[in-house]
Amino acid sequence: MNKNRHMKYGLLIATVLLMAGLMLSGCRKDTGSSGDPNDPGNAGISSAVGDDKTDQSTNNGDENREDTSASQTEQEDEEPVEIIDDSYRNYYEIFVYSFYDSNGDGYGDLNGVTGKLDYVADMGYTGIWFMPVHPSPTYHKYDISDYYGIDPKYGTLDDMKNLIREAHARNIDIILDLVVNHTSSIHPWFREACAEIAKNGEPSGQYKDYYVFKSQYENGYTQVGSTGWYYESRFWSGMPDLNLDDPTVRDEIRNIMKYWFDLGVDGFRLDACTSYYTGDVEKNKEFLHWLSTTAHELKEDCFLVGEAWENADPIIRDYYDSGLDSFFIFTAATGEGSIVTGPLSFSSKSCGLKMNDLLLRLQTTYDIGIPSMFLGNHDTARPANFLRKSMPDRVKMGGGILAMMPGALFTYYGEEIGMLGTGDDPNKRIAMLWDGLDTEGYCKKTPDGIKVNADSYYFDSVEKQLADKNSILNYYRKAMKLRNRNPEIARGRVEILNGLPGVTAGDQVSVTRRTWNGSDIIVVMNLNSVDEEKVILDRNILGYEKKTGELLGNTLTSIRSDDTAGEYVLPPYSVIILR
């Protein structure tokens, strides 16, 4: 397939064609654009080579102004940053099955992850969330048959211990998926409980109260063999629900958490929090309160993040009253969330103001705990799908907005190279593309046996994107490091500066101050997908010195800066940090 390589020719083409490439860069295999000027995917083309009059009306001679700070910020990207030891981290979600195969058996494994920890750290990630790693009869492993073991496909317990040690040596925290709403139907607890029913005609024995059994069928229940008893199984028959009211079950959960804390794990992602007690929010919160209290008694500084998949902020906020550290903010994620429908909206002419509204909404609503922000995960379409693969600069800006959000941040493996995946769950969990499909480390055993080939990947591999300054990968890398270098972004209080004295900015631009621990920065984001935007900021009023960081959706463009005059011309989909 034809491979575009804009960086090779960037210095040879005219400025107008540089702007035409704005929406077509990103180290992709092909453009996938229709050529239709009415297609949002071609907005950059029609604007750049057609009727764009922005340069004439807004540049005012700025085209000759050089950004003397650009090389300085690039140098700062490579300088080591002291990672703050708290839970406001950049987490990288890994599905081990599809990540890196270290022994050639076709499956990803823990040693493969260990071998890629330098990559994870160099990308600016300071935490890893592992999807379930325990023995399980399914590829996804959300039906666990042994909470204390490692699935043989993934390796051994010693492999996990080594991985944790090596991760901590690189200032990377480890959190595991804790699935306690249900077990596998082959878990010894459940098998023994069912055997007692078959033997005695009713629940009896050591595990009779570990699950919810009823003598009459109800919706969400499955029959125990040919007996007259039924067990709760809200997800499917292979996932019998645990009886979380039983004190012995809670003791088991406590022991499981203690076991992994003792091995060095830093926290847990809690699966299916809203399903603990189906339809009963208060009981869900009570259980989460017990779990949170118990976990922090075992490990005071642990981090617990819950999956409360709800589509309204007040509902998610209500779950914070349980005392849990964090919940995923589903209202901002996916193609229907407020990041895509707000600051990345195609139809809006005030995307900057929508970004401000989103930041204020999050700050006002989530007044306790840590919001966990993400674009997509293993259950959703991948960002490159809903952000439009034919618009790599928009894919990048999705990551840029994520990096500028408060709280903890989560990126799904492969998101940083624009991997695709939508529809059935296995499609969202295909092998990480490190190099080629036949190269070392590629996981050839596909999830649930689905067909995967070269056409399953739209953008280039990690290896090729690392060498391309304009790639999605290098954008994500810079965004994560910029976030680490400016801790005010994740931890700070947000103040909207648009419209205040000393600030001149259009509606497509978001200007905010982030204040934390006696320090503050100013974040300026041009959310205009087509045109550059000029921003004037009065240094005396706002109290900053200079630009210290930037993100460019297309590195063939540049930010024209004059710190002395406080004037900044931002190309489409770009960000600057002032300090």
Q: Tens digits of per-residue pLDDT, 218-249?
A: 999 999 999 999 999 999 999 999 999 999 99
CA 350 – CA 336 distance, rounded (Å)? 18
Q: Which two tokens stand for residue 484?
A: 């680490």
Q: How does 149-185 read in b/e, with b if 16+ C-beta sit within 10 Å?
A: bbbebbbeeebbeebbeebeeebbbbbbbbbbbbbbb
Which CATH number among 3.40.50.1010, 3.20.20.80, 3.40.50.1820, 3.30.413.10 corresponds to the domain 95-180+257-484?
3.20.20.80
Over residues 379-407, mean pLDDT: 98
In order of 59, 496, 519, 570, the CA distances from 533 in angstroms are 9, 18, 27, 5
pLDDT above 80: residue 424: yes
Q: Which of 307, 310, 460, 533 is catalytic?
A: 307
Q: Which of 151, 159, 271, 520 is catalytic?
A: 271
* Rama region for 81: left / alpha / beta (φ>0; ψ in -120 to 50; rest): beta
pLDDT for res 60: 37
Over residues 525-537, mean pLDDT: 98
CB 492 within 8 A of CB 516: yes
pLDDT for res 242: 98
Q: Which two tokens stand for residue 267?
A: 């926290």
Told to judge if 307 belongs to the known catalytic residues of this protein, a careful annotator would answer yes
pLDDT for res 79: 79
pLDDT for res 531: 97
pLDDT above 70: residue 36: no
CB 386 within 8 A of CB 334: yes
Residue 80's pLDDT band, with cuts at 50, 70 and 90, is: confident
CA 14 – CA 344 distance, rounded (Å)? 28
- Nearest CA-CA partner of 214 in 204, 205, 225, 202: 202
pLDDT above 70: residue 527: yes
Q: Which two tokens stand for residue 136?
A: 């399980």
pLDDT above 80: residue 77: no
Residue 546's pLDDT band, with cuts at 50, 70 and 90, is: very high
pLDDT tens figures, 342-390: 999 999 999 999 999 999 999 999 999 999 999 999 999 999 999 999 9
CB 124 within 8 A of CB 486: no
Low-confidence winner among 4-18, 187-201, 533-547 (lowest mean pLDDT): 4-18
pLDDT for res 71: 58
CB 469 within 8 A of CB 11: no
For 115-120, which contacts have Cβ atoms below 8 Å and span 24 or more sequence positions? 117/163, 117/166, 117/167, 117/170, 117/172, 118/170, 119/462, 120/92, 120/170, 120/172
pLDDT above 70: residue 67: no
CA 331 – CA 310 distance, rounded (Å)? 7
Taking all residues of the chain, what is their mean pLDDT, rounded to a whole number? 90
pLDDT above 60: residue 37: no
pLDDT above 70: residue 554: yes
* Count of residues in the chain: 579
pLDDT tens figures, 288-325: 999 999 999 999 999 999 999 999 999 999 999 999 99
Sequence ranges of the domains in the chain: 95-180+257-484, 188-232
pLDDT tens figures, 157-209: 999 999 999 999 999 999 999 999 999 999 999 999 999 999 999 999 999 99
pLDDT tens figures, 82-139: 899 999 999 999 999 999 999 999 999 999 999 999 999 999 999 999 999 999 999 9
Told to judge if 76 belongs to the known catalytic residues of this protein, a careful annotator would answer no
Q: Which two tokens stand for residue 353?
A: 């103001």
